[in-house]
Structure 1
């Protein structure tokens, strides 16, 4: 599923939920609870999309880098979130996903006979997400499925080039010395579909098991800066990591 189709499907589902009779029902003052909070800690499995432009010069295009594409490895990290649920069918969630480390490979690489790839480097990415969640069932149900639409901030850091690509730049005469790889940050939309499952009634009612699937619209520029004689030159690519993330965790309700 591409980015546009994925977001369109999620938005359509959100609109259908908002227009249900329960969502349209008038909110009573007794329904408002300003003291209802969740705290959640869990693990995240991050699967980036490999859809990005090929690695290329700012002004010229080299045949060895022409029509290359990226292979981005997935990673596992941890997450923490806080949910404020003042209404039976709505809540606000602030979700932070810690830095996930991703290795980068350039595929369809033509420089070395008998090989069609080269190890490029690595980067880490963390994200902060603010969601408006719509809860689909009454709040006294053990199962609490929800849909969230929100905004995402992604930070890309710890970016570095692999020695394999460093050697290629210098051995081919492109660079006269070590190169540096840099990435930036991204603002975009995010969406999630999840469920909290309450472990029981009474004392156990404060603890829940959580699972959710999240889609993030995240893109940034990847730039390789390398020395030439005289000065510097650059290679660049438009990264659209757009990760799908599976979150599993434990929730405590205050």
Structure 2
């Protein structure tokens, strides 16, 4: 996905002569495609186990809406189908569990070429709220600690983004975008066979998010 995004940005720079209507105040832009969440995860050591955890990538369908408040500033909502990630123990080859989440992200965007025809780069700053649910403990981990439950707190954090629309018609464009999102959570493992003893540790998920798709301007 990272290589595809790099090629897309290069294509954007080469596609400056492609023409479409300029973005104007009151326009709506709908972007859809494939979005990959690639966590740059880091965690505290799990108390009693002396290990840390990592979180794998996942790709889902994206649906991103933008309203142009002016010809240079837009309001974007990033949405997608739910992401499911494996949670792995870093020090050994062991899958600890699985988590599902939704990370809606609201951003204010700046379009330096807003009001001009042709390709449209943009940059954004925003806020993210990540809903984490359906946490599961893998049987491999339960084979070590016994029956257990896993819970991760929801997260609220900031985000930064950049992207480009490369027009191929009056309303259609190819889109590539990237976000960095601050997602921090506290994980809690309940050991049911140890009197429901609880083990807590912090997890910084902090993913890079890559989107490739198409855009339509209303």
Q: Which runs of 5+ in 1 are unaligned?
A: 1-31, 57-61, 109-115, 171-177
How far apart, CA to CA, are the structure 2 residues paired with 1:138 and 1:80? Answer: 22
Match of 1:179 in 2: 148
**1:227-242 correspondence to structure 2 within 5 Å:** 227-228=192-193, 231-242=195-206
Task: Answer yes or no: is the 8 Å Cα contact 2:43–2:52 preserved in 1.
Answer: yes
Residue equivalent to 2:13: none
1:92 maps onto 2:75 in alignment: yes
- Paired position in structure 2 for 1:128: 104
> 2:69 aligns to what SS in structure 1?
strand
Return the match for 2:164 from 182, 192, 195: 195
Q: In structure 2, the residue corresponding to 1:147 is in which secondary structure? A: strand
Corresponding residue number in structure 1 for 2:12? none
Q: What TM-score comes out, normalization by structure 2 length?
A: 0.85
Query: Which string of whole-angstrom CA distances, capped at 9 and with x for unpartnered residues, describes residues 89-147 of structure 1?
Result: 11111111322111111122xxxxxxx34220111121111111001224333110010
SS at match of 1:150: strand
- 1:53 CA drift (Å): 0.9
Partner SS state of residue 205, structure 1: coil
Secondary structure at the aligned position of 2:170 is classed as helix
Contact 2:61 2:81 in 1 (8 A): yes
Which residue is equivalent to 1:119?
A: 95
On the 8 A contact 1:96/1:128 being kept in 2, the answer is yes
- Equivalent positions of 1:41-60 (< 5 A) are 41-56=32-47
**Matches of 2:60 and 2:41, distance apart in 1:** 19
Cα RMSD between the aligned structures?
1.8
Paired position in structure 2 for 1:101? 84
Higher relative contact order (CA 8 A, sep 6+): 2
- Distance between the aligned counterparts of 2:114 and 2:196, measured in 1? 61
Matched residue, 2:183: 218
Name the one with the larger strand percent: 2
Measure the CA separation in 1 of the matches of 2:24 and 2:121.
Answer: 19
TM (norm. structure 1) is: 0.73
Instruction: State the shift of 1:188 in Å.
Output: 0.4
